[in-house]
Structure 1
Amino acid sequence: MNLTQQISEDMKTAMRAADTKRRDAIRLLQAAIKQREVDERIQLDDAAVVGVIEKMLKQRRDSIVQFEAAHRHDLADAEKYEVSVLQAYMPQALSDAEIEEAVSEAISIAGAKGQQDMGRVMAQLKSSLSGRADMGKVSSLVKTKLIG
C-alpha cells in the first residue's frame, strides 16, 4: 500500500470513528496532495507526497512559533495536533550520528574542499536524507564541517 492509499484509509477510519480533528488534519493533507497533482498534472509518488508533508510540517512549526509569541495557545495546540498527525506519515527519522556519517560520506564523495562546494554536497544529501532529517540542521552541519 502506497502512502496516498494509506492516507485515504486513515481518512475513512477517522470518519468512521467520528474523530473530527484527525479527519480535518488528514483532509488538509489530501487537499495539498491533490493541489500539487493538479498544478503539475502528475500522479505523485511516495517521495513527492513526503515532500508535500515536509512543507506542511514546516508551515505548522512556523505557525506554532508565531501563535505562541502572540499568546494564542489555543491555535498553537491545534497546529501541534496537526503536526502529530502529519508526522505519522513521515519515514523514520535518522539519528544525529547517522546524519553526521552521511554528511562526512557526501563530503568525501563530492571531494569538497571548502564552502564553495556546499551546493554539490547538499544536492547529494537532499536525495538521500529528504524526509528523514531536518535539512536546515544538515545544512548547518555541512557548513561547519567544510569551514572547520
Structure 2
Amino acid sequence: MSLKAKLMDDLKLAMKEKNQVKKSVITLIRAAVKQYEVDNRVELDEQGVLDIVVKQMKQRKDALEEFTKAGREDLISQTQEEMEILKDYLPAQLSEEEIEVIVVDTIKEIGASSMKEMGKVMSALMPKVKGKADGKIVNELVKKHLQ
C-alpha cells in the first residue's frame, strides 16, 4: 500500500474514532503533499511523500525544543503526541551504531581524511540514510571520524 493510500485510510479511521490530533496531523501531511504537487505540477512518489513527512517531523522537533525552553507543558505534550503519530509513517530509524558503520564505510569509499572533505562525505552519505536517521547525528559522527 502506498504512503498516500495509507494516509487516506488512517484519516478515515481517525475520523471514525474521533481522534482529533491524529486527524489534524494527517490532514496537515496530506495538505502539504497536495500543495507541493499543485505548486510543482508533479505527482509525488513514495520518496516525495516521505520527504514531506520527514520535514513535518523536523518542524515538530524544532518546536519541541522551543516549547521546552519556554516551559510550555501543554504544547510539549501535544507536540510529542503529534511526533508519535508521524513516526508511524517514517521508516524504522537507524541506531547510532548502525549510522556509525555507514559513516565509516562511506568515508573509506571516498577516501576522505580531513574536515575539508566533509561536504563530499555528507553528499555521498545522506542519500543512504535519508529518512532513516537524524541529520544532526549523522553530521556529528562524520565530524568525529574526520578529525
Secondary structure, in 3 states, of the residue corresponding to 1:91?
coil
Tell me the distance in 1 between the aligned counterparts of 2:45 and 2:106: 25
Secondary structure, in 3 states, of the residue corresponding to 1:76?
helix
Tell me the distance in 2 between the aligned counterparts of 1:77 and 1:122: 33
Q: Which amino acid aligns with 1:146?
A: L
Matched residue pairs, number? Answer: 147
Who is 2:8 aligned against?
8
Who is 1:73 aligned against?
73
Who is 1:129 aligned against?
129
Q: Which amino acid aligns with 1:133?
A: A
Who is 1:139 aligned against?
139
Bigger mean CA offset, 68-77 vs 54-63: 68-77
Tell me the distance in 2 between the aligned counterparts of 1:23 and 1:55: 18
Q: Which amino acid aligns with 2:140?
A: S
Tell me the distance in 2 between the aligned counterparts of 1:9 and 1:128: 29
Deviation at 1:66, TM superposition (A): 1.3
Q: Which amino acid aligns with 2:127?
A: S
Who is 2:96 aligned against?
96
Structure 1 outlier segments of 4+, above 2 Å:
none
Tell me the distance in 2 between the aligned counterparts of 1:12 and 1:44: 21
State the Cα deviation string for residues 121-145 of structure 1 (Å, max 9, x = none).
1111111101111111101110110
Who is 2:43 aligned against?
43
Deviation at 1:80, TM superposition (A): 1.1
Q: Which amino acid aligns with 1:88?
A: D
Deviation at 1:71, TM superposition (A): 2.2
Could you state the TM-score of these two structures normalised by the residue count of structure 2?
0.94
Deviation at 1:57, TM superposition (A): 0.9
State the Cα deviation string for residues 111-130 of structure 1 (Å, max 9, x = none).
11211111111111111101
Tell me the distance in 2 between the aligned counterparts of 1:20 and 1:143: 42
Tell me the distance in 2 between the aligned counterparts of 1:106 and 1:27: 38
TM-align CA RMSD: 1.1
Could you state the TM-score of these two structures normalised by the residue count of structure 1?
0.94
